[in-house]
A = this chain, B = another copy of it.
Amino acid sequence: MTKNFTEENLTEAVIERMADCPNERLRTVMESLIRHVHAFVREVELTEEEWFEGIRFLTATGQKCDDVRQEFILLSDVLGVSMLVDAVNHRFPAGATETTVFGPFFREGAPETPMWGDISGGQPGTPCYVSGTVSDTAGKPLANALIDVWHSDGKEGLYDVQVEGQPWYGRGRVRTDENGRYAFRTIQPVYYSIPADGPVGAMLGALRRHTWRPAHIHTMVQCEGHHPVTTHLFVNGDQYLEGDAVFGVKESLIVDFVPHEPGPAPDGGTSDVPFVTVNYDFALTPA
């Protein structure tokens, strides 16, 4: 079939056109994508105006992206695509730490901090002492595991990359000791709105969806010989745990941020102000 395409034969013709592609996986992915996009057009009988609105939306989404803003990841997140990709790629056994969405705010190159190092970057907020272990799913402690940590500020709910001229805050890399223990200090993040001033925010507005995420600390845990885990620690009691805009909340990731009066702190020092402590133990699946 090389011409005279119709509603009935066009999909097969587009797929046939890839017959010479030597990359079998690429052919498989593209065939499925083409079949589903075509099925969508047929199913809703997409009008030309709607098609053009889609073109405009995708164009604006691409043009909203820059070094510190990734509007297509945001789109993927709010449509549940990111969580679905996460789910199909992390079918870990029971007992392994559950994964959740990566999000658009990770940056490479955060500094490594020693045990109980402060990653708050001097941001104001409630001091927050986080500690626990990394082990495998059989309970064996894992030494020298690397934990990337990133989170929003403690007042506005913004990440450092969202603040013009801000060098960094709320980012760090911590390692487990020989007993699989890790510990760091920061400030407690707050709930926040995903960036809502772009095309994705406009779409959510049209759909009458809110843009809020419950407060959380992002973590990415890696250890040689094990599957890495990208996840969050959600603050128990947050008002947006029900209805996270990006569908990321899982029961096992909701953690108590335990309040304490001023006094002795877990790092051996003393806090003059009220603080919270968090304990979370990660379990990685052997590769």
- Chain A residues in contact with chain B, CB under 8 A? 2-7, 10-11, 13-14, 17-18, 20-23, 26-30, 32-34, 36-48, 50-51, 55, 58-63, 65, 70, 72-73, 76, 79-89, 206-209, 241-244, 247, 249-251
Chain B residues in 8 Å Cβ range of A41: 81, 84-85, 88
Chain B residues in 8 Å Cβ range of A88: 7, 41-42, 45-46
Chain B residues in 8 Å Cβ range of A89: 45, 47-48
Inter-chain contact B22/A208, CB cutoff 8 Å = yes
Specify the chain B residue showing the minimal Cβ separation from A243. B2
Sorted nearest first, the 10 A-B pairs with minimum C-beta distance are: A62-B62, A14-B80, A2-B242, A3-B249, A36-B36, A20-B208, A7-B87, A36-B40, A51-B85, A21-B207
Majority DSSP secondary structure for residues of A touching B: helix
The smallest beta-carbon distance between A84 and chain B, in angstroms, is 5
Chain B residues in 8 Å Cβ range of A51: 76, 81-82, 85
Inter-chain contact A44/B21, CB cutoff 8 Å = no
In the assembly, how many copies of this chain are there? Answer: 2
Known contacts A37-B81, A58-B61, A62-B62; is A6 also within 8 Å of B87 by CB? yes
Inter-chain contact B10/A251, CB cutoff 8 Å = no
Q: In the assembly, what is the distance between CA of A203 and CA of B244, in Å? A: 35
Chain B residues in 8 Å Cβ range of A37: 36, 79, 81
Inter-chain contact B29/A50, CB cutoff 8 Å = yes
Inter-chain contact A26/B207, CB cutoff 8 Å = yes
Inter-chain contact A48/B207, CB cutoff 8 Å = no
The smallest beta-carbon distance between A218 and chain B, in angstroms, is 16
The smallest beta-carbon distance between A204 and chain B, in angstroms, is 9
The smallest beta-carbon distance between A76 and chain B, in angstroms, is 7
Inter-chain contact B207/A18, CB cutoff 8 Å = yes
Specify the chain B residue showing the minimal Cβ separation from A27. B207
Chain B residues in 8 Å Cβ range of A13: 80, 247
The smallest beta-carbon distance between A55 and chain B, in angstroms, is 5
Q: List 13 A-B contacts (CB under 8 A).
A: A4-B251, A11-B84, A14-B247, A18-B207, A21-B206, A34-B80, A41-B84, A41-B85, A46-B88, A47-B89, A51-B76, A59-B70, A60-B62
